[in-house]
Amino acid sequence: MGDIQFVMDTLRYYAGYADKIHGKTIPVDGNFFTYTRHEPIGVCGMITPWNFPLLTAVVKLAPALCCGCTMVNKPAEQTPLTILYTASLIKEAGFPPGVVNIVPGYGPTAGGALSEHMDVDLITFTGSTEVGRIIQQASGTSNLKRVCLELGGKSPNIIFSDVDMDYAVDNAHKGVFFNMGQVCVAGTRLFVQEDIYDEFVKKSVEKAKKRTIGDPYDPAMESGPQIDQDQFDKILELIESGKKEGAKLECGGSRKGDKGYFIESTVFSDVQDNMRIAKEEIFGPVQQIMKFKTLEEVIERANNTSYGLAAAVFTKDIDKAIAVSNALQAGTVWVNCYGEAKPQCPHGGFKMSGIGREFGEYALQEYTEIKTVTIKIPHKC
């Protein structure tokens, strides 16, 4: 239900922008009158992922509509039904034919055709960095269409020793295990200051062991299965790499039960920065807890990644919080909270976590072209 509320809030937010997108008049030298127009970019190709199939579609659809664009959505092949049902609601609401189009299919075929199409003016994609590279290459070999990419992450979550321990443990837990860890901004590089490290690990393990895993339709369950066999196998393989490379498995680490794609809530301690579980996006219920000493050290280590989607810092010292937030190379930084997304706030990545921004007023820039009009006039008053 949280997704549904966020979707409604996003639609209402961008509906309010529909009559507020405009250019400027610009004073220029000479007898000229100059103004700009913000015009719809045109046909938008939207390639959306499986982990939040409705939310990620609406985050693209809403600003595109309010800017006057048409769109073609290629949903993830694992979760096409959500957006197909949404399309029936769009038709019921009375949208003109051709404004919103849904084309289910596989990535290399349907997604590839959309990315390479000469009449598509923008591709907006949420998914892996690997596929994001392919889409950007397709833009370069076709019509140089604009791309907006929200890609992978390996987000640092920094816990200083002055925190409220239970509050920080709870937020760090949610930052990793929410949606079975299948979240691009998951705080999977957890840096904990050394003088509270042992206690933090102990409390984190206790919390992970208590997490209920089972039928996602059962309200008593906190976690369900992973999306499919491929993701299930990838997570277990990375867990095995953590064991082999010397991280300490505190709990979990195996399949839950003997049916379905359920994985135990897993916690590793004594994780080193060069281990695969500390570098690669796992996209599963696996928490890595690393130790640090100083502010300067943790900033350098937190930024030592090819990703830059999100980050967080927990401390009671506001000066420290601001200093760390300003130093982190990430598109979003949370202070004393984790994963708080709002329709008004822009979201996107630094480095290999993406290009462009979604949400907020900034997203409108992705769906418009700016035209400059200069008119010769007899004289200026």
- Kindly list the catalytic residues: 150, 184
DSSP 305-317: SS--SEEEEE-S-
Which residue has 């979990």 as its token pair?
Answer: 252
Please tell me the distance from the alpha carbon of residue 214 to that of residue 292, in angstroms, as a whole number: 35
Task: Count the alpha carbons within 13 Å of 228 in the hemisphere toward its beta carbon.
Answer: 7
Please tell me the distance from the alpha carbon of residue 267 to that of residue 250, in angstroms, as a whole number: 5
Pairing of strands 122-126, 43-47: parallel
Please tell me the distance from the alpha carbon of residue 211 to that of residue 159, in angstroms, as a whole number: 22
Please tell me the distance from the alpha carbon of residue 263 to that of residue 179, in angstroms, as a whole number: 12
Please tell me the distance from the alpha carbon of residue 173 to that of residue 288, in angstroms, as a whole number: 11
Please tell me the distance from the alpha carbon of residue 248 to that of residue 235, in angstroms, as a whole number: 17
Is residue 278 within 8 A of residue 290, CB to CB? The reply is: yes
